[in-house]
Amino acid sequence: MFPDDVSRRIQSLFRPSPVLLIGSGFSCGFGLPGMGELAKHLLDEMKASAISDDARTLWHQHRDEIERDFENGLNQIPIGASARAELTEEIRRLLSGVICDRTVVAEEDIRALPEPHKAAPARLLQRVFDGIPQNSECAPVITTNYDTLLELFCDLARLPIDTGFEGHRYRFFRKEVIYRTHFRPEAVPGKKAVQVEYRRMPNVRIMKPHGSITWHSTTGGPVEILDNRKASSRAIVIPGPTKYEDALITRLFDSVRTEMNTALRTATGLMCIGFGFNDAHLQGVITERLGNKMPLLVLTRSFTPKIRSLIAEFPHVLAIARDGDGGECHVDGQVYKSDLPIWELDCFLKTFLE
C-alpha cells in the first residue's frame, strides 16, 4: 500500500485546486469512441461518401497509411494537394457525426443514474470549484475532447460554466476577451446604511483547444448551438493535416489556446485524466512548468510511451494506472501497488480525497 507521503502529496495538490486536463480516456469510459474506433468508422463510412473523384483519389492514396496509424496517416495528406480542403471537411463531418450520436447516448445514460449529481466527475468538479482561491475568477478545465460530457457534469453539480460564448440558443464567442470575469452584488453593512459591493463570482472555465460538437462554422464566424444534431460544418480540429493549421490560424482556436497556456503557466498544480501526452499543442508549456517542479498528477488506464518518458524525465510526477484488478502509483522512482482500482476516478476520490 502507499506510504502516507503519497496521500499527503495528492491532498496538497488540491490546496488550492489544480488545473484539470481531460483527455480522450475520460470520455471512452462513458462509451465515446477512441482513436482506433474513430479510424474504423472513417474507413467504413468513406466507402459510400459522396465526395468528388479528386477527393476520393486523394483518400485512396493515403488510406492504407491511415489504417495503419490514424493520425500519422492523416498527416501524410499534403497541404497543397488538390481536393485536400474537400477531403478534410468530409473527414470533419464524419467524425463529428459519430461523436454527436455517441454523446447523446452517453448523456442519456448519465442522466439515468440514480444520483447523477454524485457521479465521480461531478464530485471532482465540485471539489475543484470549492477549492478556488478567494481572489480567483475561475476553475480552469482544459479538454481535448469534442463531446459535452464535462458541461453536463458541471450542470449536474450545479456549477456555473463559461465556454467563451454568450447568448441563449445561437451563442457567439467573445472576440475581444473570450472569457469574462463575472461579478455579483452583495449587501454589506456600512457606517450609515447597507451598501452594495460587487464581488467576483467564480465559474468553471471550460477550454477546448480542439473544438466542440456544439461549435459550428458559419459565414459570420463560429457560433455555439446547444443540442443541435443537424449535420453541418462543426468547428472541430481533426487529427492530421489541419490540426495545427486550424488551431493557429482560426481566431477562436487561437484565443482558446492563449487562455489555455495562461492557465497552465500560472497553475499551482495540474491533474490529468485519460490524457496520453501525445498532443504537441499542450506539451511545451507543461514540460516547461514540470522543469520548475510544478506538481502533476496523472490518472490513466494505462501508461502511454509518452507518459513513461515523462515519469523518467520528471520523477516528481505522480502517475497512477491500472495494474490487474488494482492499481499502481509511480513517483520519485518508486512504484507502489494497491489492490484497489485507484486509477478509476470514483475509487481515487474515495481513497484520497473523500
- The average pLDDT across 113-140 equals 94
CA distances from 28 to 37, 76, 149 (A): 10, 26, 11
Q: ω into residue 16 within 30 of 0, thus cis?
A: yes
Instruction: State what percent of residues in the chain have pLDDT above 70.
Output: 95
Query: What is the three-class DSSP state of 3?
Result: coil
C-alpha cell at 306: 509518452
3-state secondary structure 110-133: HHCCCCHHHCHHHHHHHHHHHCCC
Q: Using CA atoms, how far apart are residues 245 and 210, in angstroms rounded to an integer?
A: 11
pLDDT in tens, 291-343: 999 999 999 999 999 999 999 999 999 999 999 999 999 999 999 999 999 99
Set of cell numbers at residue 128: 475543484
**Order of all β-strands in the sheet with 211-216:** 165-166, 170-173, 223-225, 211-216, 234-236
Mean pLDDT of the chain: 89
Measure the CA–CA gap between 337 and 1, rounded to whole angstroms. Answer: 6
Dist CA 278 CA 273 (whole Å):
13
Average pLDDT for residues 89-113, to the nearest whole number?
93
What is the per-residue pLDDT for 247?
Answer: 54
Instruction: Quote the cell numbers at residue 15.
Output: 490546496
- E-assigned strand segments in 13-90: 19-22
Beta strands in the chain (DSSP E): 19-22, 138-143, 161-162, 165-166, 170-173, 183-189, 194-200, 203-207, 211-216, 223-225, 234-236, 270-273, 296-299, 318-323, 326-331, 334-338
Distances (CA, A) of 93 to 6, 62, 321: 45, 18, 34
The structure's pTM equals: 0.91
Q: What is the DSSP letter of 17?
A: P
> What tens digit of pLDDT does each residue of 243-257 get?
655 555 578 888 898
**Burial classification of residue 328, based on how many CB atoms lie within 10 Å of its CB (0-12 exposed, 13-18 middle, 19 or more buried):** middle
Per cent of the chain over pLDDT 90 is 61
Say how far apart CA 122 and CA 308 lie, in whole Å: 29
Question: What's residue 252's pLDDT?
Answer: 84
What are the structural domain ranges in the chain?
A: 19-266
Pairing of strands 161-162, 138-143: unpaired
Cell 473570450 belongs to 178
Residue 41: exposed, middle, or buried by beta-carbon count in 10 A (0-12, 13-18, 19+)? middle
Window from 127-136, 157-166, 203-212, 316-325 with minimum mean pLDDT: 127-136
Residue 96 gets the label, from left (phi > 0), alpha (psi -120 to 50) or beta, of alpha
